[in-house]
């Protein structure tokens, strides 16, 4: 698996599928979630509603998928990062599960290339250094059957330089 780093907007990356940092109700919101729903249009929210009615949303650390609406991707994988509450509340394991469960789902969907945002490092408050270490560890230790390329998309400069240091 080839690991790449990009700075910018995850709705404008050339991959087969992108990961969304959603909330457990799959209600949309600000940050990357808002950007993905804006770029994808209402079809994604309609599919989120169906998932909500079937299984009541998506628990923290788990992942579900929808189409990508107007975006040129096959799928959006929605995963729910942990809210940082000091680190002793299962946050590291849950953040790792977000990456691993998204990769597993991408494998089941026969995805070749996948882009991740920096899950939980916005309003959910996860310390960026710790989140970057966990993201790279989780992706680096995952053995995939279909995924050839994983792109970490960093929206802010701080995350981008942390990932640069960790990946090089």
| Cβ 30 to ligand ADP shortest distance, Å | 6
- For position 79 contacting ligand ADP by CB under 6 A, the verdict is no
Q: Is 33 a catalytic residue?
A: yes
- For position 62 contacting ligand ADP by CB under 6 A, the verdict is no
21, 68, 77, 147: which one contacts ligand ADP (CB under 6 A)? 21
Options 58-66, 69-77, 120-128, 138-146: segment touching ligand ADP (CB under 6 A): 120-128
- For position 57 contacting ligand ADP by CB under 6 A, the verdict is no
Of the candidates 33, 89, 107, 156, the residue annotated as catalytic is 33
Which residues are CB-contacts of 66 (< 8 A; sequence separation ≥ 6)?
43, 44, 47, 48, 51, 75, 76, 78
DSSP per-residue string spanning 47-82: HHHHHHHHHSS--TT-EEEE--TTSSSSEEEEEEPP
Q: Which residues are catalytic?
A: 33
């Amino acid at each position: 698996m080839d690991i790449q780093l990009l700075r910018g907007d995850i709705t404008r990356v050339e991959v087969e599928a992108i990961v969304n940092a959603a909330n457990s109700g799959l209600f949309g919101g600000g940050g990357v979630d808002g950007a993905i729903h804006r770029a994808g249009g209402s079809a994604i929210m309609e599919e989120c509603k169906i998932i909500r009615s079937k299984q009541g949303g998506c628990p923290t650390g788990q992942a579900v998928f929808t189409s990508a609406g107007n975006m040129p991707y096959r799928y959006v994988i929605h995963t729910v990062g942990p809210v940082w509450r000091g680190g002793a509340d299962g946050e590291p394991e849950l953040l790792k599960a977000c990456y691993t469960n998204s990769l597993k789902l991408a494998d089941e969907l026969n995805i070749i290339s996948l882009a991740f945002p920096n899950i939980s490092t916005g309003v959910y408050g996860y310390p960026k250094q710790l989140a970057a270490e966990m993201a790279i560890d989780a992706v680096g230790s995952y053995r995939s059957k279909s995924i050839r390329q994983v792109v970490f998309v960093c929206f802010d400069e701080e995350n981008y330089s942390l990932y640069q240091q960790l990946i090089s």
